[in-house]
Structure 1
Amino acid sequence: MDIQNHGFINKGTSQLDDLRNNLDHIDRQLIELLGKRFEITETIGQYKACNDLPPQDKKREYEQFEKISQTAETCGLNSSTALTIYRCIMDIVICRHEEIKRLHLKTRQL
């Protein structure tokens, strides 16, 4: 990338600070949304455990990844990048659902 053609030379740190502040704001929004997402997946994990459903649903994952890929492309984000991020999120959720199921089974045995 030729930074001279993007107006970034000799602009001082105020422009950089503004850009970083924008990123900080977006990061906060992302974290808030992830928090809400994990609250919902926690409830889903409880539901699955109580109803003897498996922690992982491959069909649902496939459908989600298709939607995520399409949404990413529509929004101008590289679909591979979006899928990598969501794979990490899904893996965390699956691990948590497995833990919830183990705890649920343990409590039922008592």
Structure 2
Amino acid sequence: MTQETSSAADPVLAGFRASIDNIDAALIHMLAERFRITKAVGEYKATTNLPASDPGREERQITRLRALAQDANLDPDFGEKFIRFVIDEVIRHHERAKNG
């Protein structure tokens, strides 16, 4: 019996998995929107001669995400790793577009 067959035979497991699938889809859409906004921020900074990065803001965001993670009973290290990953991806994407 495959895993998919076993979950189809178990409605409780199938319900959990459907919820996970919905959450994953929402996360992807939210990340896409976040990246759309950060792209707009980058374009705005370029046209107004503002520095591309803001290390102070990044540190405040890391602190904020760690606190949010802790409040949500999630490992604060995970919250920090997540926002650092997002920041790094924004920078990587910006550099690729700039050098494109």
TM-score when scaled to structure 1?
0.75
Distance in structure 1 (CA, Å) of the matches to 2:30 and 2:69: 17
1:78 to 75, 79, 82: 75
Larger RCO (alpha carbons 8 Å, 6+ apart): 1
Answer yes or no: is the 8 Å Cα contact 1:68–1:79 preserved in 2: yes
Bigger drift between 35-44 and 53-62 goes to 53-62
What is the Cα deviation at residue 102 of structure 1? 4.7
Answer yes or no: is the 8 Å Cα contact 1:42–1:97 preserved in 2: yes
Root-mean-square deviation (CA, aligned residues, Å) is 1.7
Q: Which runs of 5+ in 2 are unaligned?
A: 1-8
Q: Deviations over 1:23-77 (max 9, x none)?
A: 0010111111111111110100101111222322111100000110111111111
Q: Which has the larger radius of gyration?
A: 1
Answer yes or no: is the 8 Å Cα contact 1:68–1:83 preserved in 2: yes
In percent, how many aligned pairs have the same letter? 34
Using a 3 Å threshold, how does the CA distance of structure 1 residues 99 and 92 change in structure 2: closer, same or farther? same
2:47 to 50, 53, 60: 50
Task: Give the AA of the match of 2:52.
Answer: P
Distance in structure 2 (CA, Å) of the matches to 1:28 and 1:36: 13
Instruction: Write the mapping of 1:61-72 to structure 2, written as runs, cut at 5 A.
Output: 61-72=58-69
User: Which structure 1 residue ranges, 4+ long, deviate > 6 Å from structure 2?
Assistant: none
TM-score when scaled to structure 2?
0.81
Q: Which runs of 5+ in 1 are unaligned?
A: 1-11, 104-110
Task: Give the AA of the match of 1:15.
Answer: V
Task: Give the AA of the match of 1:80.
Answer: D
Distance in structure 2 (CA, Å) of the matches to 1:48 and 1:54: 7
2:24 to 27, 33, 40: 27
